[in-house]
């Protein structure tokens, strides 16, 4: 009987040690994940005054026309959906677009004025002839018209056209 009690006590000690280790690991894992998430989400603020001063010095050249910078993209989301009422072959068009600019300033302008841009593009898309959009040339003309409409809005707001290209990333007519 005494041996059984000793084995039982040792088994309880082992299981309680395992439980403590599991709980400790879980707390460390959750704590580490929380700290990691906090660092990722709050990483926008400069960490040192020197970095802030350097950022202010670099702000002036950004006002100039960008040359040789990487292309930046912004998707106009959700997709544009237009009905064609008087056409028996195509009744609906769905288009997903992305704009490309070489400066974050213009991408931010697109984001800021997206409701107006979307309105102008919906008006433009709803006037299209589905028959002309079946050919590559028709789609390219529409692409240029869309680019012009977006550039008109951005030019009005920033003084420069800003957006260099529009890409159709999905184009469906039914």
The whole-number pLDDT of residue 38 equals: 62
- On whether the CB atoms of residues 149 and 161 are closer than 8 A, the answer is no
Nearest to 111 by CA among 158, 62, 170: 158
The whole-number pLDDT of residue 59 equals: 47
Domain 69-173 has CATH 3.30.479.30: yes
The whole-number pLDDT of residue 9 equals: 58
Q: How many CB atoms lie within 10 A of CB 78?
A: 9
pTM of the model: 0.59
Q: What angle do CA 47, 48, 50 make, to 5 degrees?
A: 140
> Sheet holding 72-83: strands in order across?
72-83, 92-101, 163-173
Q: What angle do CA 126, 79, 115 make, to 5 degrees?
A: 75
The C-alpha atoms of residue 173 and residue 87 are separated, in whole angstroms, by: 12
The whole-number pLDDT of residue 136 equals: 95
Per-residue pLDDT in tens (0 to 9) along the chain, 174 residues: 555 555 555 566 667 888 888 888 788 777 777 766 666 666 544 444 444 444 444 544 444 454 568 999 999 999 999 998 777 777 899 999 999 999 999 999 999 999 999 999 999 999 998 989 999 999 999 999 999 999 999 999 999 999 999 999 999 998
The whole-number pLDDT of residue 56 equals: 47
The whole-number pLDDT of residue 40 equals: 64
Block residue for tokens 């100039």: 64
């Amino acid at each position: 009987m005494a041996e059984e009690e000793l084995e039982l006590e040792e088994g309880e000690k082992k299981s309680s040690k395992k439980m403590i280790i599991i709980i400790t690991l879980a707390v460390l894992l959750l704590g580490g994940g929380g700290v990691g998430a906090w660092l990722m989400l709050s990483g926008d603020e400069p960490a040192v005054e020197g970095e802030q001063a350097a950022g202010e010095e670099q702000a002036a050249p950004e006002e100039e026309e960008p040359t040789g910078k990487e292309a930046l993209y912004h998707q106009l989301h959700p997709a544009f959906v237009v009905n064609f009422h008087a056409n028996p072959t195509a009744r609906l068009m769905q288009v997903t677009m992305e704009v490309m600019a070489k400066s974050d300033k213009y991408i931010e302008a697109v984001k800021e004025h997206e409701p107006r841009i979307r309105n102008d593009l919906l008006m433009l898309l709803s006037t299209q002839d589905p028959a002309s959009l079946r050919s590559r040339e028709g789609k390219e003309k529409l692409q240029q018209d869309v680019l012009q409409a977006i550039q008109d809005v951005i030019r009005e707001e920033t003084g420069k056209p800003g957006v260099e290209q529009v890409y159709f990333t999905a184009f469906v007519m039914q």
